[in-house]
Structure 1
Amino acid sequence: MSCEGKVHPVSSNGDMTKEKPLKIFVGYDPREDLAYEVCRHSILKRSSIPVEIIPIKQSELRKNGLYWRERGQFESTEFSFTRFLTPHLANYEGWAMFVDCDFLYLADIKELRDLIDDKYAIMCVQHDYTPKETTKMDGAVQTVYPRKNWSSMVLYNSGHPKNKVLTPEVVNKETGAFLHRFQWLEDDEIGSIPFVWNFLEGHNKVVENDPQTFPKSIHYTRGGPWFEAWKHCEFADLWLKEMENYQQEAKKKVEK
Protein backbone atom coordinates (compact mmCIF):
# COMPACT_ATOMS: atom_id res chain seq x y z
CA MET A 1 0.00 0.00 0.00
CA SER A 2 0.99 3.61 0.17
CA CYS A 3 4.12 4.64 1.98
CA GLU A 4 2.15 7.57 3.37
CA GLY A 5 0.88 5.70 6.39
CA LYS A 6 2.04 7.60 9.44
CA VAL A 7 2.56 6.07 12.87
CA HIS A 8 1.85 8.26 15.87
CA PRO A 9 3.57 6.20 18.60
CA VAL A 10 2.76 8.27 21.65
CA SER A 11 0.79 7.06 24.64
CA SER A 12 -1.51 9.24 26.73
CA ASN A 13 1.27 10.06 29.18
CA GLY A 14 3.65 11.08 26.40
CA ASP A 15 5.90 8.02 26.66
CA MET A 16 6.86 5.87 23.71
CA THR A 17 4.78 2.73 23.72
CA LYS A 18 5.12 -0.76 22.29
CA GLU A 19 1.40 -0.91 21.70
CA LYS A 20 0.57 -2.05 18.17
CA PRO A 21 -0.79 0.87 16.16
CA LEU A 22 -4.43 0.86 15.15
CA LYS A 23 -4.49 0.81 11.35
CA ILE A 24 -6.83 3.44 9.98
CA PHE A 25 -7.51 3.27 6.24
CA VAL A 26 -8.91 6.51 4.86
CA GLY A 27 -10.81 6.68 1.58
CA TYR A 28 -8.86 8.93 -0.78
CA ASP A 29 -10.09 10.82 -3.83
CA PRO A 30 -7.78 13.27 -5.67
CA ARG A 31 -10.62 15.84 -5.73
CA GLU A 32 -10.70 15.77 -1.94
CA ASP A 33 -6.99 15.74 -1.09
CA LEU A 34 -7.41 18.59 1.40
CA ALA A 35 -10.30 16.78 3.11
CA TYR A 36 -8.05 13.72 3.52
CA GLU A 37 -5.23 15.80 5.01
CA VAL A 38 -7.54 17.55 7.47
CA CYS A 39 -9.21 14.27 8.49
CA ARG A 40 -5.80 12.68 9.06
CA HIS A 41 -4.58 15.71 11.01
CA SER A 42 -7.67 15.73 13.22
CA ILE A 43 -7.12 12.07 14.18
CA LEU A 44 -3.38 12.38 14.85
CA LYS A 45 -3.70 15.60 16.84
CA ARG A 46 -6.10 14.08 19.36
CA SER A 47 -4.92 10.48 19.50
CA SER A 48 -3.40 9.16 22.73
CA ILE A 49 -2.75 5.72 21.20
CA PRO A 50 -0.47 4.75 18.33
CA VAL A 51 -2.23 4.90 14.98
CA GLU A 52 -1.11 4.24 11.42
CA ILE A 53 -3.06 6.22 8.85
CA ILE A 54 -3.06 4.85 5.31
CA PRO A 55 -4.85 6.48 2.38
CA ILE A 56 -6.67 3.98 0.12
CA LYS A 57 -5.67 5.26 -3.32
CA GLN A 58 -7.40 3.59 -6.22
CA SER A 59 -4.52 4.29 -8.62
CA GLU A 60 -2.10 2.39 -6.36
CA LEU A 61 -4.51 -0.52 -5.90
CA ARG A 62 -4.88 -0.80 -9.68
CA LYS A 63 -1.10 -0.69 -10.13
CA ASN A 64 -0.72 -3.46 -7.53
CA GLY A 65 -3.38 -5.64 -9.18
CA LEU A 66 -5.81 -5.41 -6.26
CA TYR A 67 -8.52 -3.41 -7.99
CA TRP A 68 -9.73 -3.63 -11.56
CA ARG A 69 -13.48 -3.05 -11.65
CA GLU A 70 -14.82 -0.31 -13.92
CA ARG A 71 -16.28 2.75 -12.27
CA GLY A 72 -20.08 2.70 -12.14
CA GLN A 73 -22.36 5.68 -12.71
CA PHE A 74 -23.42 5.82 -9.03
CA GLU A 75 -19.91 5.86 -7.56
CA SER A 76 -19.53 9.37 -6.18
CA THR A 77 -15.93 8.81 -5.02
CA GLU A 78 -12.92 6.69 -5.98
CA PHE A 79 -13.28 4.71 -2.73
CA SER A 80 -16.93 3.66 -3.15
CA PHE A 81 -15.80 0.01 -3.41
CA THR A 82 -12.08 0.04 -2.54
CA ARG A 83 -13.06 0.54 1.14
CA PHE A 84 -14.05 -3.12 1.34
CA LEU A 85 -10.43 -4.14 0.78
CA THR A 86 -9.70 -3.00 4.37
CA PRO A 87 -9.46 -6.53 5.92
CA HIS A 88 -7.23 -7.64 3.01
CA LEU A 89 -4.98 -4.58 3.36
CA ALA A 90 -4.75 -5.35 7.10
CA ASN A 91 -3.59 -8.90 6.21
CA TYR A 92 -6.76 -10.30 7.81
CA GLU A 93 -5.22 -9.65 11.24
CA GLY A 94 -6.49 -7.70 14.27
CA TRP A 95 -8.87 -4.77 14.17
CA ALA A 96 -8.56 -2.09 11.48
CA MET A 97 -10.72 0.88 10.68
CA PHE A 98 -12.01 2.37 7.47
CA VAL A 99 -13.29 5.94 7.29
CA ASP A 100 -14.32 8.27 4.46
CA CYS A 101 -12.06 11.30 4.03
CA ASP A 102 -14.93 13.73 4.68
CA PHE A 103 -14.78 13.25 8.47
CA LEU A 104 -13.49 15.63 11.13
CA TYR A 105 -12.49 14.01 14.44
CA LEU A 106 -13.15 16.01 17.59
CA ALA A 107 -12.31 13.28 20.14
CA ASP A 108 -9.50 10.86 20.95
CA ILE A 109 -9.63 7.79 18.68
CA LYS A 110 -8.83 5.72 21.79
CA GLU A 111 -12.43 6.26 22.93
CA LEU A 112 -13.61 4.62 19.72
CA ARG A 113 -11.09 1.80 19.90
CA ASP A 114 -12.21 1.07 23.47
CA LEU A 115 -15.70 0.27 22.17
CA ILE A 116 -14.36 -2.73 20.23
CA ASP A 117 -15.96 -6.06 21.06
CA ASP A 118 -14.29 -9.16 19.59
CA LYS A 119 -17.58 -11.01 19.24
CA TYR A 120 -18.48 -8.89 16.21
CA ALA A 121 -17.15 -9.13 12.65
CA ILE A 122 -17.60 -5.39 12.15
CA MET A 123 -18.83 -2.44 14.18
CA CYS A 124 -20.36 0.76 12.84
CA VAL A 125 -22.94 3.47 13.46
CA GLN A 126 -26.25 1.98 12.35
CA HIS A 127 -27.93 5.02 10.82
CA ASP A 128 -31.54 5.17 9.78
CA TYR A 129 -30.97 7.78 7.11
CA THR A 130 -32.71 8.91 3.94
CA PRO A 131 -31.07 12.00 2.39
CA LYS A 132 -33.32 14.85 1.26
CA GLU A 133 -30.90 16.12 -1.39
CA THR A 134 -30.67 14.66 -4.91
CA THR A 135 -27.03 15.70 -5.34
CA LYS A 136 -24.03 15.94 -3.01
CA MET A 137 -20.45 17.22 -2.97
CA ASP A 138 -19.63 18.68 -6.40
CA GLY A 139 -22.81 17.56 -8.15
CA ALA A 140 -22.54 13.78 -7.64
CA VAL A 141 -25.85 11.90 -7.61
CA GLN A 142 -27.17 11.19 -4.10
CA THR A 143 -28.30 7.56 -3.99
CA VAL A 144 -30.72 6.05 -1.46
CA TYR A 145 -30.39 2.46 -0.23
CA PRO A 146 -30.82 0.45 3.01
CA ARG A 147 -28.06 0.86 5.59
CA LYS A 148 -26.89 4.05 3.88
CA ASN A 149 -23.76 5.50 5.50
CA TRP A 150 -23.12 2.37 7.59
CA SER A 151 -20.05 1.64 5.45
CA SER A 152 -18.65 5.18 5.73
CA MET A 153 -16.88 4.39 9.01
CA VAL A 154 -16.36 0.76 9.98
CA LEU A 155 -14.25 -1.05 12.54
CA TYR A 156 -13.29 -4.35 10.91
CA ASN A 157 -12.37 -7.43 12.92
CA SER A 158 -9.98 -8.32 10.12
CA GLY A 159 -9.19 -11.79 11.44
CA HIS A 160 -12.87 -12.78 11.79
CA PRO A 161 -13.55 -15.84 9.58
CA LYS A 162 -16.51 -14.12 7.88
CA ASN A 163 -14.34 -11.19 6.73
CA LYS A 164 -12.01 -13.54 4.85
CA VAL A 165 -14.78 -13.52 2.23
CA LEU A 166 -13.63 -9.98 1.31
CA THR A 167 -10.92 -10.99 -1.16
CA PRO A 168 -9.92 -8.65 -3.99
CA GLU A 169 -11.86 -10.95 -6.37
CA VAL A 170 -15.08 -10.53 -4.35
CA VAL A 171 -14.64 -6.77 -3.90
CA ASN A 172 -14.13 -6.39 -7.66
CA LYS A 173 -17.14 -8.41 -8.79
CA GLU A 174 -19.84 -8.15 -6.10
CA THR A 175 -22.73 -5.69 -6.26
CA GLY A 176 -22.97 -2.44 -4.34
CA ALA A 177 -25.90 -3.93 -2.42
CA PHE A 178 -23.86 -6.95 -1.30
CA LEU A 179 -20.95 -4.82 -0.11
CA HIS A 180 -22.56 -1.66 1.30
CA ARG A 181 -25.29 -3.61 3.11
CA PHE A 182 -22.75 -6.10 4.56
CA GLN A 183 -24.60 -9.05 3.06
CA TRP A 184 -21.70 -11.42 3.81
CA LEU A 185 -22.66 -11.08 7.50
CA GLU A 186 -25.59 -12.00 9.72
CA ASP A 187 -27.25 -9.07 11.52
CA ASP A 188 -25.97 -10.21 14.93
CA GLU A 189 -22.39 -10.08 13.63
CA ILE A 190 -22.63 -6.29 13.18
CA GLY A 191 -21.94 -4.34 16.37
CA SER A 192 -23.41 -0.90 17.00
CA ILE A 193 -21.45 2.29 17.77
CA PRO A 194 -23.05 5.51 19.16
CA PHE A 195 -24.11 7.90 16.38
CA VAL A 196 -21.79 10.64 17.66
CA TRP A 197 -18.88 8.76 16.01
CA ASN A 198 -20.46 9.21 12.56
CA PHE A 199 -22.47 12.38 13.14
CA LEU A 200 -24.13 13.20 9.81
CA GLU A 201 -23.99 16.93 9.12
CA GLY A 202 -27.45 18.09 8.12
CA HIS A 203 -29.18 15.02 9.58
CA ASN A 204 -28.11 14.34 13.17
CA LYS A 205 -28.82 17.04 15.73
CA VAL A 206 -27.15 18.25 18.91
CA VAL A 207 -29.67 18.37 21.76
CA GLU A 208 -29.14 21.40 24.00
CA ASN A 209 -27.67 20.51 27.41
CA ASP A 210 -27.15 16.88 26.34
CA PRO A 211 -23.41 16.22 25.91
CA GLN A 212 -24.23 12.67 24.76
CA THR A 213 -25.42 14.17 21.46
CA PHE A 214 -22.36 16.30 20.69
CA PRO A 215 -20.35 14.86 17.77
CA LYS A 216 -17.08 13.06 18.38
CA SER A 217 -16.57 12.97 14.63
CA ILE A 218 -18.51 14.96 12.04
CA HIS A 219 -19.28 13.38 8.69
CA TYR A 220 -19.80 16.00 5.98
CA THR A 221 -21.67 13.46 3.88
CA ARG A 222 -23.53 15.99 1.70
CA GLY A 223 -20.33 17.93 0.99
CA GLY A 224 -17.86 19.83 3.14
CA PRO A 225 -16.37 23.34 3.17
CA TRP A 226 -13.62 22.25 0.74
CA PHE A 227 -16.35 22.43 -1.93
CA GLU A 228 -17.49 25.94 -2.86
CA ALA A 229 -21.19 24.96 -2.68
CA TRP A 230 -20.83 23.74 0.91
CA LYS A 231 -18.72 26.56 2.38
CA HIS A 232 -21.54 27.45 4.81
CA CYS A 233 -22.73 24.01 5.90
CA GLU A 234 -23.28 23.24 9.57
CA PHE A 235 -19.98 22.86 11.51
CA ALA A 236 -18.09 24.46 8.60
CA ASP A 237 -16.30 26.69 11.13
CA LEU A 238 -14.86 23.67 12.96
CA TRP A 239 -13.52 22.16 9.75
CA LEU A 240 -12.03 25.47 8.56
CA LYS A 241 -10.33 25.96 11.93
CA GLU A 242 -8.83 22.47 11.69
CA MET A 243 -7.70 23.19 8.12
CA GLU A 244 -5.91 26.34 9.25
CA ASN A 245 -4.23 24.41 12.06
CA TYR A 246 -3.12 21.69 9.60
CA GLN A 247 -1.76 24.28 7.14
CA GLN A 248 0.16 26.13 9.88
CA GLU A 249 1.79 22.90 11.08
CA ALA A 250 2.59 21.81 7.51
CA LYS A 251 4.22 25.21 6.89
CA LYS A 252 6.34 24.89 10.06
CA LYS A 253 7.61 21.48 8.88
CA VAL A 254 8.60 22.93 5.50
CA GLU A 255 10.42 25.82 7.18
CA LYS A 256 12.50 23.56 9.47
Structure 2
Amino acid sequence: MNIISIVVGFDQKEAVAYHVFCQSIIEKASLPCEFLPLAENTLSEYKETHKDGSNKFIYSRFLTPYLKKFTGWAIFADGDMICNVDIKELWEKRDPTKAVQVVKHNYKTKRNIKYLGNKNEDYPRKNWSSLILWNCEHPKNRILMPQFIQSQPGSYLHRFSWLDDDEIGELNKDWNWLAIEYPDSESAKLIHYTLGTPCFFEFRDTEMSEKWINQYQKTIEGMEK
Protein backbone atom coordinates (compact mmCIF):
# COMPACT_ATOMS: atom_id res chain seq x y z
CA MET A 1 0.00 0.00 0.00
CA ASN A 2 1.22 3.49 -0.87
CA ILE A 3 1.56 5.40 2.42
CA ILE A 4 2.47 9.08 2.49
CA SER A 5 5.20 9.76 5.06
CA ILE A 6 5.06 13.28 6.50
CA VAL A 7 7.65 14.71 8.90
CA VAL A 8 6.28 17.81 10.61
CA GLY A 9 8.15 20.43 12.60
CA PHE A 10 6.98 20.51 16.22
CA ASP A 11 7.60 23.23 18.79
CA GLN A 12 5.85 23.14 22.15
CA LYS A 13 5.40 26.94 21.99
CA GLU A 14 2.88 26.40 19.18
CA ALA A 15 1.85 22.77 19.63
CA VAL A 16 -1.69 23.59 18.54
CA ALA A 17 -0.36 24.51 15.08
CA TYR A 18 1.04 21.00 14.62
CA HIS A 19 -2.30 19.36 15.40
CA VAL A 20 -4.30 21.74 13.23
CA PHE A 21 -1.95 21.12 10.30
CA CYS A 22 -2.13 17.33 10.64
CA GLN A 23 -5.91 17.48 10.86
CA SER A 24 -6.09 19.61 7.71
CA ILE A 25 -4.15 16.88 5.89
CA ILE A 26 -6.05 13.90 7.29
CA GLU A 27 -9.53 15.15 6.47
CA LYS A 28 -8.68 15.68 2.78
CA ALA A 29 -6.27 12.80 2.13
CA SER A 30 -7.20 9.90 -0.16
CA LEU A 31 -4.18 7.79 0.85
CA PRO A 32 -3.04 6.69 4.32
CA CYS A 33 -0.67 9.16 5.95
CA GLU A 34 1.90 8.58 8.67
CA PHE A 35 3.07 11.56 10.72
CA LEU A 36 6.41 11.94 12.48
CA PRO A 37 6.61 15.02 14.72
CA LEU A 38 10.09 16.51 14.96
CA ALA A 39 9.85 16.93 18.72
CA GLU A 40 13.21 17.80 20.25
CA ASN A 41 12.80 15.44 23.24
CA THR A 42 12.41 12.42 20.95
CA LEU A 43 15.61 12.92 18.96
CA SER A 44 17.95 11.04 21.26
CA GLU A 45 20.73 10.73 18.66
CA TYR A 46 20.73 14.40 17.74
CA LYS A 47 21.87 17.22 20.01
CA GLU A 48 21.08 20.73 18.86
CA THR A 49 24.28 22.77 18.86
CA HIS A 50 23.10 25.78 16.84
CA LYS A 51 22.30 28.91 18.81
CA ASP A 52 20.11 30.71 16.28
CA GLY A 53 16.63 30.03 15.03
CA SER A 54 13.06 30.86 15.99
CA ASN A 55 11.82 27.29 16.46
CA LYS A 56 13.01 23.93 17.78
CA PHE A 57 13.13 22.16 14.41
CA ILE A 58 15.02 24.69 12.35
CA TYR A 59 17.90 22.22 11.84
CA SER A 60 16.44 18.85 12.76
CA ARG A 61 14.35 18.98 9.55
CA PHE A 62 17.51 17.89 7.72
CA LEU A 63 17.38 14.60 9.65
CA THR A 64 14.43 13.46 7.54
CA PRO A 65 16.38 11.06 5.26
CA TYR A 66 18.24 9.69 8.29
CA LEU A 67 15.00 9.11 10.20
CA LYS A 68 13.63 7.31 7.15
CA LYS A 69 16.76 5.12 7.06
CA PHE A 70 17.67 6.63 3.69
CA THR A 71 14.86 4.76 1.93
CA GLY A 72 11.82 5.91 0.01
CA TRP A 73 10.34 9.37 0.09
CA ALA A 74 9.01 11.78 2.69
CA ILE A 75 7.49 15.21 2.93
CA PHE A 76 8.89 17.64 5.46
CA ALA A 77 6.72 20.62 6.39
CA ASP A 78 6.91 23.33 9.00
CA GLY A 79 4.14 22.92 11.55
CA ASP A 80 2.70 26.39 10.96
CA MET A 81 0.79 25.43 7.82
CA ILE A 82 -2.61 24.21 6.73
CA CYS A 83 -3.36 21.98 3.76
CA ASN A 84 -6.27 22.89 1.48
CA VAL A 85 -6.13 19.90 -0.89
CA ASP A 86 -5.48 16.17 -1.00
CA ILE A 87 -1.81 15.78 -0.03
CA LYS A 88 -1.65 13.00 -2.62
CA GLU A 89 -1.31 15.79 -5.20
CA LEU A 90 2.07 16.71 -3.75
CA TRP A 91 3.12 13.08 -3.26
CA GLU A 92 2.54 12.41 -6.95
CA LYS A 93 5.10 15.07 -7.90
CA ARG A 94 8.03 12.90 -6.75
CA ASP A 95 10.85 13.12 -9.30
CA PRO A 96 13.50 10.40 -8.86
CA THR A 97 16.08 12.51 -10.71
CA LYS A 98 16.02 15.08 -7.87
CA ALA A 99 17.39 14.86 -4.33
CA VAL A 100 14.83 17.36 -3.03
CA GLN A 101 11.95 19.38 -4.45
CA VAL A 102 11.04 22.75 -2.98
CA VAL A 103 9.29 26.02 -3.71
CA LYS A 104 12.08 28.34 -4.81
CA HIS A 105 10.95 31.55 -3.13
CA ASN A 106 12.59 34.80 -4.19
CA TYR A 107 11.27 37.64 -2.04
CA LYS A 108 12.07 40.29 0.54
CA THR A 109 10.16 40.05 3.80
CA LYS A 110 7.55 42.65 4.73
CA ARG A 111 8.37 42.42 8.43
CA ASN A 112 11.75 42.30 10.19
CA ILE A 113 10.17 40.90 13.36
CA LYS A 114 7.97 37.80 13.48
CA TYR A 115 6.20 35.81 16.18
CA LEU A 116 7.43 36.04 19.78
CA GLY A 117 9.73 38.91 18.82
CA ASN A 118 12.09 36.79 16.72
CA LYS A 119 14.22 38.55 14.12
CA ASN A 120 13.19 37.95 10.53
CA GLU A 121 16.08 38.63 8.21
CA ASP A 122 16.38 38.25 4.45
CA TYR A 123 18.89 35.71 3.14
CA PRO A 124 19.42 33.64 -0.04
CA ARG A 125 16.92 30.83 -0.56
CA LYS A 126 14.82 31.99 2.38
CA ASN A 127 11.97 29.57 3.16
CA TRP A 128 13.08 26.99 0.60
CA SER A 129 13.54 24.46 3.39
CA SER A 130 10.13 25.00 5.00
CA LEU A 131 8.48 22.50 2.62
CA ILE A 132 10.67 19.72 1.22
CA LEU A 133 9.73 16.71 -0.86
CA TRP A 134 12.65 14.45 0.09
CA ASN A 135 14.10 11.69 -2.05
CA CYS A 136 15.51 9.98 1.05
CA GLU A 137 17.47 7.39 -0.90
CA HIS A 138 19.26 9.84 -3.19
CA PRO A 139 23.02 9.18 -2.74
CA LYS A 140 23.80 12.84 -2.01
CA ASN A 141 21.40 12.85 0.96
CA ARG A 142 23.30 10.10 2.76
CA ILE A 143 25.66 12.74 4.11
CA LEU A 144 22.87 14.03 6.37
CA MET A 145 23.83 12.21 9.54
CA PRO A 146 23.18 13.76 12.97
CA GLN A 147 26.83 14.65 13.58
CA PHE A 148 27.14 16.28 10.15
CA ILE A 149 24.04 18.42 10.65
CA GLN A 150 25.23 19.49 14.10
CA SER A 151 28.52 20.71 12.62
CA GLN A 152 27.19 22.73 9.68
CA PRO A 153 26.12 26.40 9.72
CA GLY A 154 22.55 27.29 8.92
CA SER A 155 23.54 28.95 5.65
CA TYR A 156 24.97 25.65 4.39
CA LEU A 157 21.94 23.57 5.33
CA HIS A 158 19.09 25.90 4.39
CA ARG A 159 20.64 26.58 0.98
CA PHE A 160 21.02 22.83 0.29
CA SER A 161 24.72 23.37 -0.31
CA TRP A 162 25.54 19.64 -0.32
CA LEU A 163 23.62 19.40 -3.61
CA ASP A 164 24.22 20.68 -7.11
CA ASP A 165 21.56 23.15 -8.25
CA ASP A 166 20.19 20.73 -10.84
CA GLU A 167 19.48 18.23 -8.05
CA ILE A 168 17.05 20.68 -6.41
CA GLY A 169 13.70 20.33 -8.11
CA GLU A 170 11.12 23.12 -8.16
CA LEU A 171 7.52 23.01 -6.94
CA ASN A 172 4.80 25.51 -7.75
CA LYS A 173 4.49 28.37 -5.27
CA ASP A 174 0.98 27.17 -4.33
CA TRP A 175 2.66 24.38 -2.35
CA ASN A 176 4.21 26.85 0.11
CA TRP A 177 2.15 30.01 -0.05
CA LEU A 178 3.50 32.55 2.44
CA ALA A 179 0.65 34.30 4.25
CA ILE A 180 1.16 38.07 4.65
CA GLU A 181 4.31 37.94 2.51
CA TYR A 182 2.24 37.01 -0.56
CA PRO A 183 -1.21 38.32 -1.56
CA ASP A 184 -4.29 36.39 -0.48
CA SER A 185 -4.83 33.40 -2.76
CA GLU A 186 -7.73 31.01 -3.20
CA SER A 187 -5.52 28.62 -5.16
CA ALA A 188 -2.96 28.07 -2.39
CA LYS A 189 -2.62 24.36 -1.67
CA LEU A 190 -0.46 24.72 1.45
CA ILE A 191 -0.68 28.02 3.34
CA HIS A 192 2.40 28.76 5.40
CA TYR A 193 2.02 31.21 8.29
CA THR A 194 5.74 31.88 8.35
CA LEU A 195 5.56 35.22 10.18
CA GLY A 196 3.22 33.90 12.86
CA THR A 197 0.50 31.30 13.16
CA PRO A 198 -2.88 32.81 14.09
CA CYS A 199 -2.65 30.89 17.37
CA PHE A 200 -0.59 33.91 18.48
CA PHE A 201 -2.75 36.90 19.43
CA GLU A 202 -0.97 39.43 17.22
CA PHE A 203 -1.59 37.28 14.12
CA ARG A 204 -5.27 36.45 14.68
CA ASP A 205 -6.43 39.17 12.30
CA THR A 206 -3.85 39.12 9.52
CA GLU A 207 -3.93 38.06 5.87
CA MET A 208 -5.41 34.56 5.40
CA SER A 209 -5.70 34.08 9.17
CA GLU A 210 -9.40 33.24 8.89
CA LYS A 211 -8.52 30.07 6.98
CA TRP A 212 -6.33 28.84 9.84
CA ILE A 213 -8.94 29.81 12.44
CA ASN A 214 -11.66 27.96 10.51
CA GLN A 215 -9.47 24.85 10.39
CA TYR A 216 -8.72 25.17 14.11
CA GLN A 217 -12.42 25.36 14.90
CA LYS A 218 -13.12 22.27 12.78
CA THR A 219 -10.30 20.46 14.58
CA ILE A 220 -11.68 21.07 18.07
CA GLU A 221 -15.37 20.56 17.23
CA GLY A 222 -15.24 16.86 18.02
CA MET A 223 -13.50 17.51 21.36
CA GLU A 224 -16.33 19.80 22.48
CA LYS A 225 -19.20 17.44 21.70
Which entry has the higher C-alpha Rg, 1 or 2?
Answer: 1
What CA deviation, in whole Å up to 9, does each residue of 1:232-254 have, x standing for no partner? 111111111110111113445xx
Retained in 2: the 8 A contact 1:128–1:148?
yes
1:138 aligned counterpart, secondary structure: helix
Distance in 2 (alpha carbons) for counterparts of 1:119 and 1:250: 44
Q: Is 1:41 matched up with 2:14?
A: no
2:70 aligns with one of 79, 87, 92: 92
RMSD: 1.3
1:123 aligned counterpart, secondary structure: strand
* Gap runs ≥5 in structure 2: none
Partner of 1:70: 49
Q: Which runs of 4+ in 1 moved over 6 A?
A: none
Q: Is 1:30 matched up with 2:12?
A: yes
Distance in 2 (alpha carbons) for counterparts of 1:88 and 1:24: 14
Retained in 2: the 8 A contact 1:28–1:101?
yes
Shift of 1:110: 0.7
Partner of 1:54: 36
What CA deviation, in whole Å up to 9, does each residue of 1:202-250 have, x standing for no partner? 122357xxxxx71011000110210011111111111111101111134
Q: What letter matches 1:221 in structure 2?
A: T
Shift of 1:137: 1.2
Partner of 1:245: 218
Aligned length in residues: 225
Retained in 1: the 8 A contact 2:180–2:208?
no
Partner of 1:191: 169
Retained in 2: the 8 A contact 1:56–1:82?
yes
2:103 aligns with one of 125, 128, 147: 125
Normalising by structure 2, we get a TM-score of 0.96
Q: Is 1:142 matched up with 2:117?
A: no
2:116 aligned counterpart, secondary structure: coil
* Gap runs ≥5 in structure 1: 1-18, 208-212
Distance in 1 (alpha carbons) for counterparts of 2:2 and 2:172: 25
What CA deviation, in whole Å up to 9, does each residue of 1:50-93 have, x standing for no partner? 110110011111xx2x2213341x31000010100000011100
Normalising by structure 1, we get a TM-score of 0.85
Partner of 1:10: none
Distance in 2 (alpha carbons) for counterparts of 1:250 and 1:114: 33
Q: What letter matches 2:22 in structure 1?
A: R
Partner of 2:191: 218
Q: Is 1:155 matched up with 2:137?
A: no
1:69 aligned counterpart, secondary structure: coil
Retained in 2: the 8 A contact 1:201–1:218?
yes
Distance in 1 (alpha carbons) for counterparts of 2:71 and 2:223: 33
Report % sequence identity.
38
Distance in 2 (alpha carbons) for counterparts of 1:119 and 1:104: 28
Q: What letter matches 1:231 in structure 2?
A: R
Q: What letter matches 2:192 in structure 1?
A: H
Retained in 1: the 8 A contact 2:50–2:150?
no
Partner of 1:116: 94
